């Protein structure tokens, strides 16, 4: 028998993606890589929101939330990449390891 897709499936998927995102953030040395990790986490949150919205509240506010999060992610990425480029202009790399002038 074919199992119906329920809330659990959404949540498990979301948790998986969240873990992947955190892993990505923690291991990547490239700034873009870290940013990708951030996007993964944001998307896992989106899956949560959509899933909860569909199965539990039924009001759609979660879906609206998800739309806002997508928008935020876009804005954040735009700004982050601009800043990475600025870093690249100064340091000729976007390896975050190289950003170690500020310490102590």
Partner 1 sequence: MENLKTLAILIPILPLLGMLLVGAVGLRFLKDKSHWLVITGVGGSLVLACLILGDVVSRVSRDEAASHVANAESAVGSAALSKSIPIYDWFVVEADPAHGAMQSAGWLQMTFRVDQLTCVMLMTVLAVSFMVVLYSKGYMRDHHGHAERGYERFFAFLGLFVFSMCMLVLAGNFLVLYLGWELVGLSSYLLIGHYYQKPEAALAARKAFIVNRIGDFGFALGIWLIYLTFRTLDHQTVFDLVAGVFNYDAGHNHQAFESLVHTTLGAQASVMDFKVLVESRITWIALLLFCGAMGKSAQFPLHVWLPDAMEGPTPVSALIHAATMVTAGVYLVARCSVIFASSEIAMWFVAAIGAATAFFAATIAMTQFDMKRILAYSTLSQLGYMFMGLGVGAFDSSVFHLYTHAFFKACLFLGAGSVMHAMGGVIDIRRFSGLRKQMPVTHLTFLIASLALAGFPLLSAFWSKDEIIHAAFQSNVPMFGWIGLVTALLTAFYTFRMVAMAFWGPLRLPQGVEHAHEGGIWMNGPLVFLSIGAVLAGYVGVHFVSGGGFLGVFQPDGVFHEFLAPVIASAKGILAGHGAEHAGAAHAGGHGLMYASSGIAILGILSASYLYLKRPTIPWAIAAASGSLYRLVYNKYYVDEIYDAVFVQPLRRMGRLCFAIDRNFINAILYVLGNIPRAIGFGVRSGQQGAMQGYALGMVIGLVALIWIVLNGIG
Partner 2 sequence: MPQSMLASMWMPSAEELSQLAPLFALVATIVALLLAAMFTNRNRNVAASIVTLGAIGTGLLAWKRLQSGAPSWAGFDPNGMGPMLISDTFSQFFIVLACVFMLVVTAMWWLGQKSDLPDSEVHRMDATEFFVLFVGSAFGMSLMVSTTNLLMIILAVEMASLPSYGITAFRKKNRVAAEASMKYVLFGAITSAIMIYGASLLYGYYQTLDLATIGMKIAADMQAGATTGTLFLSVAVFAFMVGIAFKVSAVPFHFWCPDVFQGASIEVTTWLSVASKAAGLGLMLRVLSVIICAPSAFPVEAFKYVSLAIAIMAALTCTVGNLAAYRQMNLKRLLAYSSIAHAGYMLMAVAILWSPTDAGIGAAHPAFSAIVSYIIVYLLMNAGAFFVVAMVYWSTGSESITAMNGLIRRSPMLAVCMAIILFSLVGMPPLGGFMAKFYLLMAVWKGGLYWLVVIAVLNTLISLYYYARIVRAMILTDDGLPEISAPMSGQLIVAMCTIGIILTGVLLGPMKEIANNNASNLYAVVKSDVAPRTASAAGPSAATPNTENADTAPTIP
Q: Which residues bind partner 2 (CB under 8 A)?
A: 7-8, 11-12, 14-15, 18, 21, 25, 31, 34-35, 37-38, 41-42, 44-46, 48-49, 51-52, 56-58, 61-62, 64-65, 68-69, 72, 75-76, 79-80, 82-84, 86-87, 89-91, 94, 96, 99-104
Instruction: Give which of 43, 34, 49, 55 is closest to 16, Cα–Cα.
Output: 43
Exactly one of 22, 70, 77, 80 binds partner 1 (CB under 8 A); that residue is 22
Of 12-20, 53-61, 69-77, 92-100, which segment contacts partner 1 by CB under 8 A? 92-100
49, 61 in Cβ contact below 8 A?
no
Whole-angstrom Cα distance, residue 28 to residue 32?
Answer: 9
Tokens 């480029």 belong to which residue?
Answer: 85
Exactly one of 26, 59, 90, 92 binds partner 1 (CB under 8 A); that residue is 26
Exactly one of 17, 34, 45, 50 binds partner 1 (CB under 8 A); that residue is 34
DSSP string, 26-83: HH--BHHHHHHHHHHHHHHHHHHHHHHIIIII-SSHHHHHHHHHHHHHHHHHHHHHHH
What residues make contact with partner 1 under the rule CB under 8 A? 22, 25-27, 29, 34, 95-100, 103-104
């Amino acid at each position: 028998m074919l199992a119906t897709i329920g809330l659990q499936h959404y949540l498990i998927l979301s948790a998986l993606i969240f873990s992947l995102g955190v892993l990505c953030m923690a291991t990547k040395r490239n700034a873009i890589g870290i940013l990708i990790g951030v996007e993964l986490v944001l998307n896992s949150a989106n899956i949560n929101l959509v899933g909860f919205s569909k199965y539990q509240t039924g009001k759609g506010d979660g879906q609206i939330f998800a739309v806002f999060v997508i928008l935020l992610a876009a804005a954040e990425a735009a700004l982050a990449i601009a800043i990475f480029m600025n870093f690249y202009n100064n340091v000729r790399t976007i390896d975050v390891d190289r950003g170690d002038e500020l310490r102590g």
